[in-house]
Amino acid sequence: MNKTVYYLTGMGGRLDKGLGRGLLEKGFNVKGRELYGDFRKYEFQLQVELIAKDLTNLFWDENCCVIANSFGAYLFLNAQAIMKPYIGKVILLSPIVGEFSNEETLTTFVPPRAGRLFELAKADKLPTPKNCEIYVGEDDWQSNPKSVMNLGAMLGIKVNIVPNAGHMLPVSYVEKILDGLV
């Protein structure tokens, strides 16, 4: 496996903090996009286009790995919609796949083009990465496991449900996934 990882952080994430820091500590060369600073200020379509351009021009290799977390996974899936199926390994952690809400906190989030991924999948027009793994916590209200499983089933991607986990997957669990990349 190539030691370079193209990492798409969650909202407000940094390439050198949290999961990015863990990747660096494991010796990976971390590239990608962080949903912080200038990139976060770009319009959704431009973010998607930049990610697709990065992947097709710089990281189009069977030995490359994309790791996308939360909203970064949503961006990846939308970028995948305008590309050929990505040929490297893809790991989606707690992916946002559309609108979500939490009745307890009365919180709702509607991402841009909230229903698009499911529309494309139903029409068999969402290219599926060649080697993709999805992980979501069983108690994740942001990445609703039922919705994630439905999208995974439509795309033929196995979804791994992480027991007793919410949106932030346990560090020890994620470390085992990363150890499998070495």
Dihedral pair phi/psi, residue 118, rounded to 5°: -70, -35
Q: Tell me the three state secondary structure of residue 180.
A: coil
Q: How far apart (Å, rounded) are the C-alpha atoms in residues 20 and 39? A: 17
Q: What pLDDT digit, counting tens, does each position of 41-65 carry? A: 999 999 999 999 999 999 999 999 9
pTM over 0.85: yes
DSSP code at position 6: E
H or E segment to which residue 173 belongs: helix 171-179
The predicted pLDDT at position 83 comes to 97
Q: For 4-115+127-179, which CATH class? A: alpha beta
Whole-angstrom distance, CA of residue 141 vs CA of residue 177:
22
pLDDT for res 120: 97
Q: Supply the pLDDT for residue 71.
A: 97
pLDDT given at position 59: 95
Provide the 8-state DSSP code for 35. Answer: E
Rg (Cα) of the chain, in Å, rounded? 15
User: In the chain, which residues have pLDDT < 50?
Assistant: none
